[in-house]
Amino acid sequence: MTGAVAGADGLLRCTWGNSAEDYRIYHDTEWGRPVRGDDALFERVCLEAFQSGLSWITILRRRENFRAAFDGFVIEKVAAFTDADRERLLQDAGIIRNRAKIDAAVANARAALELPAGLDALIWSYAGDPARPAPRTPADVPATTAESAALAKELKRRGFRFVGPTTAYALMQACGLVDDHLADCFARGGGTAAA
């Protein structure tokens, strides 16, 4: 496998970042950049859980629907969801209508409220080693790490659902706890595309 691939604009990107316009935008503006704040991280935990077993582009294309359906992923609001909210979500064709994942989002909100230092502090305490060598090819990017396994274990211990080591690692990648942009990708280290 090769490293980053040039897009139509000439920028070298992680291979997946050139595969669809939605992916390009997400890759260039969001993936791998630090996400802070309890509600912002809660959104990402939920979206990664909903993605389980599906392609990420399915989630990206429904993201605004998810935000509307889950009250902007404000933890306190989602934690207060009732059975009526659950039934409303199960009827919402704009999101993934999976009962177990919907129930997990509500349970995860309630678990997040119980975290003494908050979700941000818990998740960021598992940030990867910034000195880790940059992956040169997609094959160099792991699916899990010791840190993602430890984060998943701690989240589960605290009552979270749909947060296995692979999902936890995808969360870590998406939220900038690790930088898995390929070594020759323009976005490595927080690089941005020219406007």
Known binding positions: 14, 27, 181, 185
Active site (annotated) includes residue 31: no
Of 31, 43, 48, 126, catalytic: 48
| Rounded Cα gap, residues 18 and 4, in angstroms | 10
Of 30, 56, 124, 154, catalytic: 56
| Rounded Cα gap, residues 186 and 117, in angstroms | 35
Active site (annotated) includes residue 114: no
| Rounded Cα gap, residues 35 and 31, in angstroms | 9
Active site (annotated) includes residue 16: no
Closest CA to 104 of 47, 162, 53: 162
Q: Is-contact 44 174, C-beta < 8 A?
A: yes
Of 23, 26, 31, 169, catalytic: 26
Known binding positions for Zn(2+): 14, 27, 181, 185
Task: Show the tokens assigned to 20.
Answer: 């669809």
Enumerate the active-site residues. Answer: 26, 48, 56
